[in-house]
Each structure stands twice: as structure tokens, then as C-alpha cells.
Structure 1
Amino acid sequence: MQRTLESSFRQEYPGTFEILFAVEDPHDPAIAVVNELLTRYPKIAARILVGQDNVGINPKVNNMLKAFDQAQSDLLWICDSNVYTDPGTLRRSVDLMLDDRRIGVVHHVVFSESPDTLGAMLDNAFLVTNHCRMYLAINSFGVASCLMGKSNLYYKSALDSVGGLASFGQYLAEDNMIGQALWRSGWKHTMTGDLARQPTDIDSFSEYCRRRIRWVRVRKYNVTVATLYEPFTESIVLGLLTAWALHRLYALDIISTFSTFFSCWFALDMLFFYRINHGPPPSWLWFVVSWLCREVLALPLWIAAIFGNTVMWRGQKFRLHINGTVDVVK
């Protein structure tokens, strides 16, 4: 946590900025880490805001509202506490915002690192290949809003124009809903080449499965068409369809065709990871094993997510509604 929080203090930004740490619990051990950083960087305007405003079921929104209301600048960088960003991230993001006033949000692709359990390795394999690839592709073509709320720079006034931060407290995926609201209002989305690096924090295989099911199930109501199409962006489903089609058209052997397709997909994913990471993973063996497991699990987890309308999050059970809102299951 010290490394991730310190990255905010180390931003090489030519103008002035303030850092607001939003903490729900006055006994949160993160406060001690922040106080140490405040002592180490006395020239940077930073302070801790304790407590939350209960405007909905989303604990992140509830936690951020005090900081949102007290932020003095119209430019607002919302960055999760477990995210590390390079020192030039803020400067490059602000430059993009100021170059084109139609841009309402600058965001950064999430890159997972330092997995140390099987569940963490599976999540790492998902985030740094499939998720990262699709996230970059959708945003490069600009066909729709595709936003993950780990590290986003907004105009505070733009958020106010679509109802304000508090209005998104009724959703679990507030980042997605904010992005869609800004998109529909004509605000452009763009990205810098920076990564929002986060250490993986999944302890077990079952936790990984629950997380994937939870967020697919949430997306089912927020971005229905994209979620239903999702299996056709996966290597196994697409490979089987390709092998079947080429067998029907040209009598090619299904097993050989699928093996070739799957091997090429794997090679491209490895190349993609190497380019994004600027180097190899700590262990190619573990990365390959977790990648294979992730690919095999993709369709079963998607099916499990589609058939259901409740999720567990932070020890609480929620029921999802077709309009994207949720309520607590007593």
C-alpha cells in the first residue's frame, strides 16, 4: 500500500494539485501509511477525509463523496488505493484533457502484477491478456464506452452534468455507468499509454471464479449485447467455430485446424503480454499454465454468470435488476 499510495505524491506535474485520501473507518491501518507519507512529502497539499455518506449501496461511491465535494479543482483524478501509476501519468492525462475540451474522461488500462496464488495467477492471466486486449481494442475504435474505474481523470463539472457522483451510488459497476452517462452526453473518452498497475489480491481458485461470475453477471444488465457476445471473443469458442467452418468448406481436419488456431492465439497473447509488460513474466511456466486454465474456464464461468441475478460483494448479497440497479438481499 505504501508503494501504491506514494505514487500519487511522486507525480511529476508542473502545476499545483491536492491529494484527498478518502477513508471510511477511523481505525483503518491505511491511515498510518498515509500519515507517514504526509510527513515525507510536506510540500504537497494532502489530507485525509474520514467517514462516508450513505447515498446508495455502492461502498466506493459512499466513501468518495466527501472527497468529491471538497475537491477544489474541476479536474478530478479518481485512483484506487491499490493502483500504482508512473510519475508522468497525471501530466500526460491533463495534457489530453486540455488539448480537446470535448474529452470528459481520460483513463488507463489496468495491468495486474505480482501474483502469488493460483487464483491470483488466473486473474493475472485474464487481466493482462483477454481483458487488456479487448479494453484497448474497444477504446481504439471508439465504438462504445468501455471504462474501468481504477484510474480515471474527469471534469468534476462533467460528472455534475450527468447527475453527480452520488447518483451512481445505486449501481455496483459505477465506473461503467458513469462512462455510459458521459458518452451519451457527448463527452469523449480517451487513454494515455500509461498503465494502472495493481498487485493481484485473490487468495484462492474459488475466489477467482466468484469474481469472474460476479462481474459478468453485473455486466449482463449494464451492457447486455456485449456480454452476450463475449464467448465469441474467446479462443476456444472461436477456434471450434473456425475449425468447424473450414471443415465444412474445405474438408480440413477439425482437430488439426483447432490446434493450429489455438496455438496461434496463444502465441499472439504471449507477444501482446510481452509488449505491454516490456518484458517477460517472472515465470513463463506458471504464466502458461494459468493462461491455459483461464481459457478453459472462460465459457463455464460465463454460463454460470448468465443464469442468475444475485452476487456477493464484500460479504453482502445483492439482487441485480434489469435497469442495472441493485438492492440488498436481507
Structure 2
Amino acid sequence: MFRKYKLHRKLPQPALDEPYPGVSILKPLMGMDSNLAANLETFFTMSYPLYELLFCIEEEVDPAVTVVEELIKKYPKVSAKLFKGATTVGVNPKINNMHRAFEESVYELVLVSDSGIKMKEDTLLDMVCYMTDKTGLVHQMPFTCDRNGFAATLEKIYFGTAQSRIYLVADLLRVNCHTGMSTLLRKSVLKENGGLKTFGCYLAEDFFICKYFLDKGWRTTISSQPALQNSGLCDVNSFQARLTRWAKLRVAMVPLVIIFEPLSECMVIGACAAWASSVLFQWDSLAFYLIHILLWFICDWMLLTTVQV
């Protein structure tokens, strides 16, 4: 029920006689893939009245420079600026890349959006609607666009089931489960602590940014639309490496959670429950295990179809 309440839910939009808050969108880029131009173009065609696009590219010879310049020429009515060259403020290359753009951003609301994200026309409006007076950070639950191939299907199933369960439960319990691929936040709150550069000393800057907002008493929430990852580079090895990197960060930051994490997986918790049922009630453990897996798969399918809408 919570998944249907939270995802793809239309919130009341701001009244027409009230000004929409302006949004500065930071796009850190490095290199390019076959989908980069199409992904970036969706940011130029959003149906939101007041925003600026700030593209951040570390190297002047990066091929992404040409893509950005062509889009800026194609959409001259959209306020957009290209920043070349990073400023070293810490060990985090993403923060180094975005620092100048953040400092020169015009609006109070800042959207940090990774290069592989594809936007719908109303995605930004959806995120802004969740930015209430008591909310300091709105982020999107990770998901993927429809793409061909086994690796793309594997990613979609993972983000639409296992990752979605964690994200939805964390949002319900007000637990920090923030991934910074698409995040709308209040610039003034970060400025109170020195700005974005303060988090350059962390590799997992997204976790600590969210922690900072929570420690300051601000609410954080996910918007109703998931983040549509649409990278043109999609293979099993890179996906596995990504999951491994996230697991290492969780071990370093929240080691207690990683101990209990296997109990959230289908096979492990099913085996434990089957053993317990056989000991306590003398039920057939194999039958219990198979029924558990079937019901788990049905629930995963229901969750995936809800996220996919």
C-alpha cells in the first residue's frame, strides 16, 4: 500500500498566482556515452518556468564539451552555462567538479543531477512540490529506463525490487538511505556549513549531506517519480563493480547494518523461516521454502510494476 501511496502520486501544484521557486541544476559530467546527448536534452525541454543549467566538466578536451555547447546553441532561451575545470576542495572528484557552479548558482533550490539521468517534462515540478517549509532535501529513488540486453534487465529488476524495498522502507522510517544521483536541496542550509565544499572530504558525499540536513532538523523525502538512469554503458561487470563499491561504503559508514543486511534477502530469510517452521510447528521445510520464494517473487513483481508506471 505504501508503494502506491508514495510513487507516481500527483501533489497539488503551486497556485498560478504564486511564483515558482527558481532552481539551479548542477550537471557534473565526465566523458560521454551513446545516450548522453539525449539525456542532457531532456533538461532543456522540462515544463518548469524558472531554472538554470550549470554544466560542470573537469577537462577542456572532454568530448562532453561539444555535446553541451551544441545543446546550448539549440535551446538559446534556456539559461545554461558551461564550467570547465575543477577546483580542488577535497578528495571527492564530483564535489571538486561542481564547486564553482554551486558558488555561482543563482537560486535557493539546487538540483544535483548525474550525467546518466533522463528527465520527464514534469519531473522537476514533481520534486519542487515535495519541498515544503520543513523539508530541506528531496531525492529520487533510483530506477532505470527501458533498455535492451541482459545487463539492462538485471539493473531494472534490482533497482525496481531490492533497492526499491530498501528506499521505501528507509523513507517511511526516516532513515538516511540517500543516493545523490538526483537531489534537490536548499542552498542556504549548505551555506550555513560552508557550502558544498565542506563535503569534499567524503567519498560518499550524498550520505553525509543527507545526514547534515537531518542533524539540522530538516526533513528529507523522496519524490513520487523515480530517477531514470539511462547510461549508454551497460554491462554486468560494471554493474557488479558498482554494487561492490556501495557495499564497501556501507561497511565503512554503517557496519551494524551490513551485518543484518543478508536477512533482507529472499533465500537467506526463507531458509531461516523454513527451519524455524519445521522446529516449531513440524511443517515441511522444503514446501515452506518453495511457497516463500513464490510469494516473494509475486510481491517483487507487484513492486516492480508499481515503480515502472
TM-score (norm 1): 0.78
**Consecutive unaligned residues in structure 2, runs of 5 or more:** 1-35
Aligned twin of 2:159: 127
After superposition, give the CA deviation of every residue in 1:248-274 in whole Å (9 maximum; x if it has no partner): 111111111111101111111112111
Distance 1:122 1:25, change over 3 A: same
Q: Deviation at 1:277?
A: 0.8
After superposition, give the CA deviation of every residue in 1:274-322 in whole Å (9 maximum; x if it has no partner): 12112xxxxxxxxxxxxxxxxxxxxxxxxxxxxxxxxxxxxxxxxxxxx
Aligned twin of 2:62: 28
Aligned twin of 2:136: 104
Aligned twin of 1:10: 45
Q: Deviation at 1:163?
A: 4.1
Distance 1:45 1:273, change over 3 A: same
CA RMSD, aligned part only?
Answer: 1.7
Aligned twin of 1:72: 106
- Inter-partner Cα distance in structure 1 for 2:126 and 2:242: 32
Q: Deviation at 1:162?
A: 3.6
Q: Deviation at 1:54?
A: 1.1
Residue correspondence of structure 1 range 154-173 to structure 2 within 5 A: 154-173=185-204
After superposition, give the CA deviation of every residue in 1:206-240 in whole Å (9 maximum; x if it has no partner): 43333222211111122223222211111111111
After superposition, give the CA deviation of every residue in 1:47-83 in whole Å (9 maximum; x if it has no partner): 1000101122211111110111110111111111110
Distance 1:41 1:207, change over 3 A: closer
Distance 1:23 1:147, change over 3 A: same
8 A contact 1:84–1:197 mirrored in 2: yes
After superposition, give the CA deviation of every residue in 1:109-150 in whole Å (9 maximum; x if it has no partner): 1112345555444333221210022102210232x2221101
Residue in structure 2 matching 1:253, options 272, 276, 284? 284
Residue in structure 2 matching 1:207, options 238, 252, 257? 238
- Inter-partner Cα distance in structure 1 for 2:233 and 2:44: 27
Deviates more, 1:195-204 or 1:59-68: 195-204
- Inter-partner Cα distance in structure 1 for 2:233 and 2:247: 17
Residue in structure 1 matching 2:295, options 264, 269, 286? 264
Q: Deviation at 1:197?
A: 0.4
8 A contact 2:139–2:182 mirrored in 1: yes
8 A contact 2:48–2:125 mirrored in 1: yes
Query: Letter of the aligned partner of 1:12 in structure 2?
Result: S
Count matched residues.
274
SS at match of 1:105: strand
8 A contact 1:123–1:208 mirrored in 2: yes
Structure 1 vs Structure 2: percent identity of aligned residues?
Answer: 32
SS at match of 2:121: coil
Query: Letter of the aligned partner of 2:139 in structure 1?
Result: H
Query: Letter of the aligned partner of 1:10 in structure 2?
Result: T
Aligned twin of 1:241: 272
Query: Letter of the aligned partner of 2:127 in structure 1?
Result: S
Deviates more, 1:250-259 or 1:132-141: 132-141
Aligned twin of 1:149: 180
Residue in structure 2 matching 1:182, options 213, 217, 221? 213
**Consecutive unaligned residues in structure 1, runs of 5 or more:** 279-330
- Inter-partner Cα distance in structure 2 for 1:236 and 1:42: 54
* RCO comparison, higher one (Cα < 8 Å, 6+): 2
TM-score (norm 2): 0.83
